[in-house]
Every structure is written in structure tokens, then in C-alpha cells.
Amino acid sequence: MADVIRIGVAGALGRMGQVLESLTAERADMALAARIDRPGASTASALTKPQDALGLCDVIIDFSTAAASTELATLAAAAGGPAIVIGATGFTAEQETEIAAAAAKIAIVKSGNFSLGVNMLVLLVEEAARCLGPEAWDVEILEAHHRRKVDAPSGTALLLGDAAARGRGEVPETARLPERSGLPGARPQGGIGYASLRGGGIVGEHSVIFAAEDEIITLSHSARDRSLFARGALAAAVWVVSAPPGLYGMRDVLGL
């Protein structure tokens, strides 16, 4: 691994992009090598086209959009690098397949959340779900974010739901209950429900509720500052630079 890691930031004009740039500048082991954003963004922002950024960076961190992240990963795979850290959410099944195909050629860390606390919560939820069976315990996930977030449920909520499904030996996609509206009827046994709130500047709130007839267990996490996600992404960047091709998550980065 190089002494100084050349970092590219995709979604550089967004809120997370700006935090990443600021934290990168504070580190002696990193240098900002490229700033990428959507076509047509301000020409005064010293942006680099994605295809031109590939050769300038050891790793590109992307918190932009699912479509842009998928395109960037495909471009990097075709060029043989660099490694990619993906923090965008809201991917379609087709985009997930494209990301996986790119990861056969380059190293990619993709996570719905780069917080150490959230990734510890994922482990706790999986273990709780393993112990609390669906015949007595319903699993509901509540998440809240700022008004600008465009996807729902959040990537972190899906991460937590997938953990609960794994704990119960279920397939995550089929365990997700449909949205409730109107008169959906009584809650079926098993399955995992989701509820999403949007408002103001909420950074990120997630609760996993295990509800039985006579008791409730709630496991939760509150994010107070989005810089914690940026720090986690930079830790992933340091780790992925030396990793072989493959699709990784934060559990790999943290050694959990």
C-alpha cells in the first residue's frame, strides 16, 4: 500500500462529499486526488470526469446515487481499478448484479452504513433474532432521516432487516413484509416490517423492535453527526486498497 493513499470523492458537492474532503485533508496518510459529481455541476468546482479520475486515485469513495455508483464501479472494473467504497443506497436488483460483476475484477466495499455502532447493532440484531422465534416475536424496524433522503426504507434499515432474517434462517428479500396502507389486515406471523419517517435535518435514527404479547425488546442506534459515516468510509478506503477483488462489507473492514 502506498504511503499516501490517493482518494477520489464521488458526489463531491453533496453534504457527505464535503465532509469526506474535509476529513481527508486532516490526514497525513491521504491526499484528495479527484472530485467527481453529476454532469452539469458548477464548472467552478474543479471537478474531474469519472473516466479521468480512475487513473488518478487508489480508491474512490462514492456517496452519490445508486445509478452513479453502479456506473462508476462498472467503469473502474473495465479499467482494472481503482478500488471503490460505496455508501450510496437504494439499489435495484439489476444494479446489485452489476456491482457484483464489477467486484469480480476490483475490490469494492459496499455498505448501507459505515458506523461502527450500527455494525455492532447488526450483530446484536442477528443474535436476538436467532433466539426470539417468529411464533412469539414480531420484528419491526423504524428509521428516521432528514427530509432530503430519497429512498425508503433506508439502506441501514434493510441492513438490519437482513440481519434479523439471517438470524432466523430466512431469505432477506422474502422476509420483508409489504408496505401497510388502508386495510392491510392483521399482521401475519413472521416476516419483517418497516416504517420510515422523514423530516428536518435528522441524521439517522434506527430501532429494531422485537414485540411479543407481553413484552418488547428495542435495539437502537442514533447518529449525532454525519462525520462518523465519513470516518468509517475512510477506514474502509484504507482497508480496501490492499484487498483482492471481491465484494466486501463493513464487517470485513472491522474484522467482526
As annotated, the active-site residues are 145, 149
**Three-class SS state of 164:** helix
Closest CA to 153 of 137, 142, 140: 142
Write down how long the chain is.
256
- Give CA–CA dist 146/249, Å, rounded: 24
Contact between residue 88 and residue 99 where contact means Cβ atoms under 8 Å apart: no
Phi, psi of 36 (to 5 degrees): -120, 140
DSSP single-letter state for residue 106: S
**Three-class SS state of 58:** coil
| Side chain identity at residue 119, one-letter code | N
Which stretches within the chain are classed as H helix? Answer: 15-25, 50-53, 66-79, 93-102, 116-131, 155-167, 172-175, 227-240, 250-254
| All residues at 6 or more sequence positions from 93 whose CB lies less than 8 Å from its CB, including other chains | none
Contact between residue 194 and residue 201 where contact means Cβ atoms under 8 Å apart: no
Contact between residue 112 and residue 89 where contact means Cβ atoms under 8 Å apart: yes
